[in-house]
Amino acid sequence: MGTSASFFYLPDRHEQGRDRRHWIHQFFTLACVLMALAGAGFPQFTAHSAESAGRPNVVLIITDDQGYGDFSLHGNPTLKTPQIDALGRQSVRFERFFVNSFCSPTRAALLTGRYPLRTGVFGVTHNKETMRASEVTLAEMLRTAGYRTGYFGKWHNGEQFPYTPPGQGFDEFFGFHNGHWNNYFDTPLLRGAVFEPTKGYITDVLTDEAIRFIGNDTTGPFFCYLAYNAPHSPFQAPDEEFDRYKSLGLDDTLSAFYAMCARVDTNVGRVLAELDRLNLAEDTIVVFLTDNGGTAGVKHFNAGMRGGKTSVHEGGTRVPLFVRWPARIGQPRVVEQIAAHIDLAPTLLDLCGVEPPAGVKFDGRSLRPLLEGNRATWPDRTLFTHNPIDETNRYPGAVRTQKYRLVRELRGGAQGGSKAKADRQPSLWQLYDMQADPGETTDLAAKLPEVVAELSRQYEAWFDDVSSAGLRRFPIQVGHAEENPVTLHAPQTYFDGSLKFFAGPGYAHDWLTDWSDVAAKIWFETEVVREGDCDVTLHFTCPATDAGSRIRVTFGDASREVAVPPFEPRNIPLSHRDQEGHSRYVNRDWGELAVGTFTLSKGPARLTIQPLTKPEAAVMDLKEVVLTRREP
């Protein structure tokens, strides 16, 4: 964190997040009016008034798992990205822009201007990716200042309200909450909190929705957040693009990955063309970036960098950032000063003339001086990266200054990735001169011990600060009128005994299997926000040869018992281009087992599923639990 950054922690009041944001909304609205009357701000505005039309629109586009090297603008010899290349050439391009090397932490930092650990995010699944409801997001601050706000695509910062986009400041939401999506063709997606079918390739569908939102009302400013899930695996791509790259002799995985990148490129061009068609381009801030280092393409071309996604080396955290605003930002230029995801929220607020509410403190700083070409007053900075694995790990971690990268890894593992369990013993600190050695080939730690000592001291102090409130998995909130039913997903469970996830670590869409131990149980931690009656339904499979187990479901103070009927497992074919996808990303038909109605009191409530008898090999496979509130 730079010398100008300030540390401020908002206490964990997730159960009161909506009340707190309502108070901030009222306070901020009054503050905006007073500022406008006093002539303050850049540009001037009056909240919720016609004058808001004078402020710029914002279109923020982020892609998923696309690295710095996955663009022809950055020298990729095979992949062609002409639309994004053109945007980059029209923009201020940040050549040393850093994010986390995982999806969820980057997204939390973009929304809040705060380091992810400070927001409560310390993983990518099991509710570790959930951002505190009490965090005040960029969308909330812009909406309070009169902006229409829309989110389209992958969220990955909480799966149930109020942790979802509708609970975090977005008027419209169309997409999904999870870390990835299993099916890219004709797939159901959430509108608000309700699934609806779609037709076509998911990247096209999300673009259609963003374009609809942009053109829906051009009389006032809007904030459109377009979060493509491509080119994140599973590797599914339209034939036209896939065949083009396959014809170059690439393997199926890389052909599909580049095809997905190419389809994103086409759709970014569609969004920009729509801004031109509506005569909005001049006064619209367009921001483009990606969420972490590359994956499938890094072995083919990685712009000379070391590492990819999950790595705290440069290739895992350095991504493109393009910022275009023709009306206010002058000549396109390249910026070499280091910047990071924590800078986006304060930058956009600054450009839009919106002050954050009292009490909100950013770890980042506005990049406006660099956007305007004023480098003389820009201070030296120190930026930090941490790879979350669980509630306690201090490493892997890295420190980045304008000159150096200091890295500390874990021994023997994938540094928080899915490939292998890491030895929890950290390696020694490594030090690289990023100006003389951008590929990180020569470790200078032994030659420059004083630099290692100072930067490592800063890292330890930073980690203690941003994690000082403690990290924990938040309970799932039940009873909000904004989301009914509420679905509790298998990766959000706690469990013991023989149980395990079907596909490994329990990422999105996974389920629990191997329930061969009659003593093993599954439970969810919930928080009931409104008392009342709730119907509980399990989504499960059970072959006829295993049917007949009797289970007890306890929710709060009440229990119900039910027998498990047969429901044969049947997988749904998906359009994977690679072999690994067929075993790792699986959709299945699920049976519904109605358990009964529970009367819930307000407060913490554990939902437990426990076998009483198991006549055959296994109890069942469990995908999710659906809670449907009975409204009066």
Neighbours of 261 (CB within 10 A): 30
Angle (CA) 189 193 195, round 5° = 30
Identify the pLDDT of residue 411.
82
Whether the bond between 234 and the residue before it is cis, its omega within 30 degrees of 0, is yes
Does pLDDT of 260 surpass 80? yes
Q: What is the mean pLDDT of residues 403-424?
A: 70
| Dihedral sign for Cα atoms in the order 124, 130, 132, 133 | positive
Q: What is the mean pLDDT of residues 259-274?
A: 98
- H or E element in which residue 345 lies: helix 344-352
Q: Which among 102, 104, 163, 152 is positioned nearest to 128, based on CA atoms?
A: 104
Burial class (CB in 10 A: 0-12, 13-18, 19+), 95: middle
Q: Which among 615, 498, 512 is positioned nearest to 566, based on CA atoms?
A: 615
Contacts 24+ apart (CB under 8 A), 418-426: 418/504, 418/505, 418/507, 422/389, 424/393, 426/394, 426/395, 426/396
Distance CA 232, CA 204 (A): 15
- H or E element in which residue 609 lies: strand 603-613
Provide the β-strand partners of residue 437: none
- Name the packing angle between helices 344-352 and 103-112 (round to 10°): 30
Confidence of residue 4 (pLDDT cuts 50, 70, 90): very low
> DSSP 3-state helix, strand, coil percentages of the chain (rounded to 5)?
25, 25, 50
Q: Are strands 621-629 and 532-541 parallel, antiparallel or unpaired?
A: antiparallel
Identify the pLDDT of residue 460.
98
Lowest mean pLDDT among 244-258, 316-330, 409-423, 562-576: 409-423
Contacts of 553 (CB under 8 A, 6+ apart): 536, 538, 559, 560, 561, 562, 595, 596, 607, 608, 609, 610
Distance, first Cα to last Cα, the chain: 51
Provide the β-strand partners of residue 225: 60, 151
Backbone angles phi, psi at 221, to 5 degrees: -75, 150
Contacts of 290 (CB under 8 A, 6+ apart): 62, 63, 64, 65, 66, 67, 68, 70, 99, 319, 320
Q: Which among 520, 525, 518 is positioned nearest to 499, based on CA atoms?
A: 520
Residue with tokens 């699944």: 125
Say whether 241 sits in a helix, a strand or coil: helix
Identify the pLDDT of residue 421.
53
Confidence of residue 69 (pLDDT cuts 50, 70, 90): very high
Q: What is the CATH number of domain 20-378?
A: 3.40.720.10
pLDDT tens digits for range 288-319: 999 999 999 999 999 999 999 999 999 999 99
pLDDT tens digits for range 219-236: 899 999 999 999 999 999
The tokens describing 41, both together, are 């701000």
* 8 A C-beta contact, residue 359 and residue 27: no
Neighbours of 274 (CB within 10 A): 18
Domain ranges of the chain: 20-378, 386-466, 476-629
Distance CA 15, CA 603 (A): 9
Distance CA 24, CA 373 (A): 34
Q: What is the CATH number of domain 386-466?
A: 3.30.1120.10
Distance CA 177, CA 483 (A): 13
* 8 A C-beta contact, residue 152 and residue 203: no
Provide the β-strand partners of residue 318: 98
Fill in the DSSP letter of residue 567.
B
- H or E element in which residue 455 lies: helix 449-466
Identify the pLDDT of residue 38.
38
Question: Given this structure, which CATH class describes domain 476-629?
Answer: mainly beta
Whether the bond between 11 and the residue before it is cis, its omega within 30 degrees of 0, is no
- Name the packing angle between helices 239-246 and 252-277 (round to 10°): 130
Identify the pLDDT of residue 385.
97
Burial class (CB in 10 A: 0-12, 13-18, 19+), 87: buried
Q: What is the mean pLDDT of residues 458-477?
A: 97
The residue type of 511 is W
CA distances from 140 to 59, 69, 168, 249 (A): 16, 33, 7, 48
Instruction: Compute CA 200 distance to the chain's CA centroid, rounded to the nearest angstrom.
Output: 24
Identify the pLDDT of residue 423.
57
pLDDT tens digits for range 542-566: 999 999 999 999 999 999 999 999 9
Identify the pLDDT of residue 416.
52
Q: What is the dihedral of CA 490, 495, 500, 505, to 10 degrees?
A: 60
Confidence of residue 537 (pLDDT cuts 50, 70, 90): very high
Q: What is the mean pLDDT of residues 527-548?
A: 98
Q: What is the mean pLDDT of residues 527-549?
A: 98
Does pLDDT of 27 surpass 50? no
- As a whole number, the mean pLDDT across the chain is 91
Q: What is the mean pLDDT of residues 384-396?
A: 93
Q: Which among 605, 477, 623 is positioned nearest to 540, based on CA atoms?
A: 623
Does pLDDT of 33 surpass 70? no
CA distances from 230 to 78, 134, 195 (A): 18, 29, 20
Distance CA 103, CA 416 (A): 12
| Dihedral sign for Cα atoms in the order 424, 430, 432, 438 | negative
pTM of the model: 0.91
Does pLDDT of 496 surpass 90? yes
Helices and strands, number each (H, E), in the chain: 12, 31
Q: What is the dihedral of CA 68, 69, 72, 73, to 10 degrees?
A: 40
Identify the pLDDT of residue 632.
81
Q: What is the mean pLDDT of residues 46-68?
A: 77
**More confident: 464 or 631:** 464
Confidence of residue 413 (pLDDT cuts 50, 70, 90): low
Neighbours of 469 (CB within 10 A): 15
Give the burial string for 382-420 (b: 16+ CB within 10 Å, else e).
bbbbbbbbeeebebbbbbbbeebbbbbbbeebbbbbeee
CA distances from 537 to 126, 263, 488, 553 (A): 21, 39, 10, 10
The tokens describing 177, both together, are 């909450």
